[in-house]
Amino acid sequence: MNTKINFAGIEMKNPVTVASGTFGYGREFSNFFDLSKLGGIITKGTSLKPKSGNKPPRVCETASGMLNSIGLQNPGVEYFAENDLPFLKQYDTAIIVNACGSTIDEYVELCKILNTLDIDGVELNLSCPNVKKGCMAFGNTYDGVKEVTSQVRKVLDKPLIVKLTPNVTNIAEIAKAVEDAGADGVSLINTLLGMKIDINKRKPVLANNTGGLSGPAIKPVAVRMVYQVAQAVKIPILGMGGIVNGEDAIEFMLAGASAISIGAGNFISPTTSIDTIKQIEEYMKKNNIEDINEIVGKVEMNS
Burial status of residue 36 (CB atoms within 10 A of its CB: 0-12, 13-18, 19 or more):
exposed
**Residues 64 and 8 sit within 8 Å (Cβ to Cβ):** no
**Residue 118: DSSP 8-state:** S
CATH number of 5-295: 3.20.20.70
Closest by Cα among 58, 59, 133, 62 to 103: 133
Choose the catalytic residue: 60, 100, 111, 128.
Answer: 128
Q: Is the pLDDT of residue 133 over 70?
A: no
Query: Which residues lie across from 262 on neighbouring strands?
Result: 18
- Taking only the tens place, the pLDDT of each residue in 18-51 is 999 999 999 999 999 999 999 999 999 999 999 9
pLDDT, tens only, 232-259: 999 999 999 999 999 999 999 999 999 9
* Residue extents of the structural domains in the chain: 5-295
Residue-by-residue DSSP string for 20-35: TTSSTTSTTGGGTS-G
- Residue 57: cis peptide before it, omega within 30 degrees of 0: yes
What tens digit of pLDDT does each residue of 200-231 get? 999 999 999 999 999 999 999 999 999 999 99
Can the peptide bond before residue 199 be classed as cis, meaning omega within 30 degrees of 0? Answer: no
| Cα dihedral: 97, 102, 105, 108 (round 10) | 10
pLDDT tens string 101-115: 999 999 999 999 999
- Residue 139, pLDDT score: 87
Buried-exposed string 263-300: b where 16+ CB fall within 10 A, e elsewhere: bbbbeeeeebbbbbbebbbebbeeeebeebeebbeeee
- Region of residue 76 (left: phi > 0; alpha: psi -120 to 50; beta: else): left
> Could you give the CA distance from residue 91 to residue 220 in angstroms, rounded to a whole number?
33
Between CA 204 and CA 200 the distance in angstroms is 10
3-state secondary structure of 232: helix
Give the distance between the most distant pair of CA atoms in the chain: 56
pLDDT over threshold 80, residue 151: yes
Closest CA to 259 of 235, 237, 274: 237
Q: Kindly report the backbone phi and psi dihedral angles of residue 144, in degrees, each rounded to the nearest multiple of 5, phi listed first.
A: -65, -45
Q: Is 111 a catalytic residue?
A: no
Whole-number pLDDT of residue 127: 79
Confidence (pTM):
0.97
Sign of CA dihedral 190, 299, 302, 288: negative
Q: Which of 137-141, 268-272, 280-284 has the lowest mean pLDDT?
A: 137-141
d(CA 222, CA 206): 24
Average pLDDT score over the chain: 96
pLDDT, mean of residues 151-163? 98
pLDDT at 135: 57
CA 281 vs CA 14, 16, 124, 289: distances in Å:
10, 11, 30, 9
User: Residue 136: pLDDT band by 50, 70, 90 thresholds?
Assistant: low
Half-sphere exposure of 20 (CA within 13 A, CB side): 32
Angstrom distance (rounded) from CA 161 to CA 111: 12
Q: 272 and 293 in contact (C-beta within 8 Å)?
A: no
Distance, CA of 120 to CA of 260 (rounded, Å): 16
Q: Is the pLDDT of residue 180 over 90?
A: yes
